Amino acid sequence: MSPVRRAAAEDAEEVLRLRQVMIDAMHSASPTDWQAASLPGLKSRLADPDGEFAAFVVDHPERPGTLAALVVRTLEYRIGGPDRPPGGLIGYVFSVATDPDARRRGYARACMDELLAWFRERGASHVMLTASEDAEPLYASMGFTRDTTPSMRLYL
């Protein structure tokens, strides 16, 4: 298996391509016009080795210059509370995607393993993600459980 590595700025277009693969799997044929506007900010964040945003990837073994798998993470500080120990570092996982012709080879799991080790090294108290039905068995096998806390959103 190809080794997992941290994505660099030059991987940004491939990161966006795999994010679109994930979005299309959940919403079927969604627009891609958001990608051009996202590219500069993504490149900047991927170029920051000490940033709180990063992606772990596996290079596609049969298609040089493309990615086989992607996992994106961020780390946030939250004030401690009854369900959170003091320190309050929470890991967030999003944009987990595998190229359709590279699935069932363990790439997403390898990226997740690397990501979870990164969270542990930095003292995250827990990790959150949103799972599709197809991906839930992978996350459950890694120890993730369903969260009953409802989520709400406001676009500004």
Q: Rounded to an integer, what distance in angstroms lies between the CA atom of residue 147 and that of residue 144?
A: 9
pLDDT of residue 150: 65
Query: Distance between CA atoms of 100 and 151, rounded to whole angstroms?
Result: 30
Better-predicted residue by pLDDT, 49 or 47: 47
What b/e sequence results for 11-28 when a residue is b if at least 16 CB atoms lie within 10 Å of its CB, and e otherwise? bbebbbbbbbbbbeeeee
Place 71 in a pLDDT band, splitting at 50, 70 and 90.
very high
Give pLDDT tens digits for 99-143. 999 999 999 999 999 999 999 998 888 899 988 888 889 999 999
Sketch out the chain's domains with CATH numbers. Answer: 4-141 (3.40.630.30)
Average pLDDT, the chain: 88
Secondary-structure percent of the chain, ordered helix, strand, coil, rounded to 5: 35, 25, 40
Whether residue 1 has pLDDT greater than 70: no
Q: Is the pLDDT confidence value at 84 over 90?
A: no
pLDDT of 49 reads: 87
Strand partners, 6: 56
Per-residue pLDDT of 30-48, as tens digits, reads 778 888 999 999 999 999 9
6-20, 43-57, 65-79, 135-149: segment of lowest average pLDDT? 135-149
The pTM (predicted TM-score) of the whole model is: 0.85
**Which residues share a beta bridge with 58?**
4, 69
